[in-house]
Structure 1
Amino acid sequence: MTTSRRPERTDATRNRSSLLAAAEVEFAEHGLGASMADIARRAGVAKGTVFRHFATKEELIAAIVGGHFRALTAVARGLADAPDPGAALLEFLTAAAGGQAHHDLSFLQTLTEGDSGIAALRDELHGCVEQLVDRAREAGAVRADITGTDVWVLICAPVHATGYVSDPAPDLWRRYLAIIFDGLRPAGAHPLPRPAPRWP
């Protein structure tokens, strides 16, 4: 019995992964107008297979957003004890921006407001970012008045900046990440005009 079910579980896992990958492309290309039928077609499965994994489009979106939060949390945790805290923070921001540059799906996050599971994953990631920033600040790699929430707000900025450029180079976001990170450094820093926002 166990042996016969193993291929079914493997197929289900493969189908789920294919659906999530296809959904990311569809949402990136067509926004919220992406249909479940088109997602199924891109994944190479029947439409019914989509609904066996995700009962609604909202559930599918939550799975995508949650997956991104989990992936970034894993990156942040892997850098938590890095010997160079400043380099670790920059590496995290590079990984975050690089993932968004592939498919910028940050607009999907607003649709998961009120989802307690996604909120818990978001708070967990924010805590990891806060830890990276605290270590970088204590090491003198970033200015003393920078908080984890400041950096959280800036995570999407490098990729969003390229949206104002017609036909940007694929890695143009790296230029804006460098500008942002230089702004976090203590050298030449001026007092900030407003306090940092509070994490909700």
Structure 2
Amino acid sequence: MAPKQRADAVRNRARVLAAAEEVFDRSGPGTSTAEIARVAGVGIGTVFRHFPTKRDLLAAIMKDRRERVATAAEALIAGDDPEAFYVFFTDLVAAAAGRKSVVDALVEEGVDLSVDKPIGSLQGMIAPLLRRGQEAGTIRADVALPEVMALLIGTCQAALSGGWQAELQQRTTKIIFAGLRPGA
């Protein structure tokens, strides 16, 4: 079992992660550790204590983002909103569009970005939302999980690769959702 971290160390780690995400999104893969430390309001030594390498920092950002997606999915699954599927789909596309800089930096660092594990966990999040939407009549009954996953993965990949702006995300998901709704 790992020793418990001091509260200030936990706060500093969170500040470094938030700052790194912001700076990578703004400045791209060439972001300096010094800039991350400045934005986080900590010394560069603090950054290196928590994340000895840029690769460690980037992996932590991705892990943090995956945890936020899982938390959001759990909340939507626990709720009773028949439109939760559409909310989650929209949020995933937006998250993908916002990850371009971090993913580019991970690729630069030589990190394997295979999608098998993330896709498997996404299916577990999407399936209950899809079922609820179909039971509520907000999603066509003939739509199956493999089609939804193909649409979601393709859309997220395009949003990630293109760094889609909000307007393009909205137009694209509107077209997809029109095809998923009954009567399409």
Shorter-chain TM range is: 0.7 to 0.9
Q: Distance in 2 between the 1:136 and 1:174 partners?
A: 20
Q: Distance in 1 between the 2:58 and 2:35 partners?
A: 15
**Which of residues 35, 59, 74 is equivalent to 2:71?**
74
**Which of residues 55, 59, 64 is equivalent to 1:58?**
55
- From the CA coordinates, give the structure whose radius of gyration is larger: 1
Residue aligning to 1:105: 99
Secondary structure at the counterpart of residue 138 of structure 2: coil
Count the aligned residue pairs: 174
Distance 1:161 1:52, change over 3 A: closer
Q: Once the 2 structures are TM-superposed, how far is the Cα of residue 154 of structure 1 from its aligned partner?
A: 5.0
Q: Once the 2 structures are TM-superposed, how far is the Cα of residue 76 of structure 1 from its aligned partner?
A: 1.2
RMSD: 3.4
Q: Once the 2 structures are TM-superposed, how far is the Cα of residue 22 of structure 1 from its aligned partner?
A: 0.9
Residue aligning to 1:93: 89
Residue aligning to 2:149: 149
Say whether 1:180 aligns with 2:176.
Answer: yes
Distance 1:51 1:162, change over 3 A: closer
Q: Tell me, which stretches of 5 or more residues in structure 2 are unaligned? A: none
Q: Once the 2 structures are TM-superposed, how far is the Cα of residue 12 of structure 1 from its aligned partner?
A: 0.8
**Which of residues 39, 64, 71 is equivalent to 1:42?**
39
Q: Once the 2 structures are TM-superposed, how far is the Cα of residue 151 of structure 1 from its aligned partner?
A: 4.6
One-letter identity of the residue aligned with 2:90: T
TM-score (norm 1): 0.68
Q: Tell me, which stretches of 5 or more residues in structure 1 are unaligned? A: 1-5, 189-200
Residue aligning to 1:197: none
Q: Once the 2 structures are TM-superposed, how far is the Cα of residue 89 of structure 1 from its aligned partner?
A: 0.6
Q: Once the 2 structures are TM-superposed, how far is the Cα of residue 137 of structure 1 from its aligned partner?
A: 3.6
Q: Once the 2 structures are TM-superposed, how far is the Cα of residue 139 of structure 1 from its aligned partner?
A: 4.3
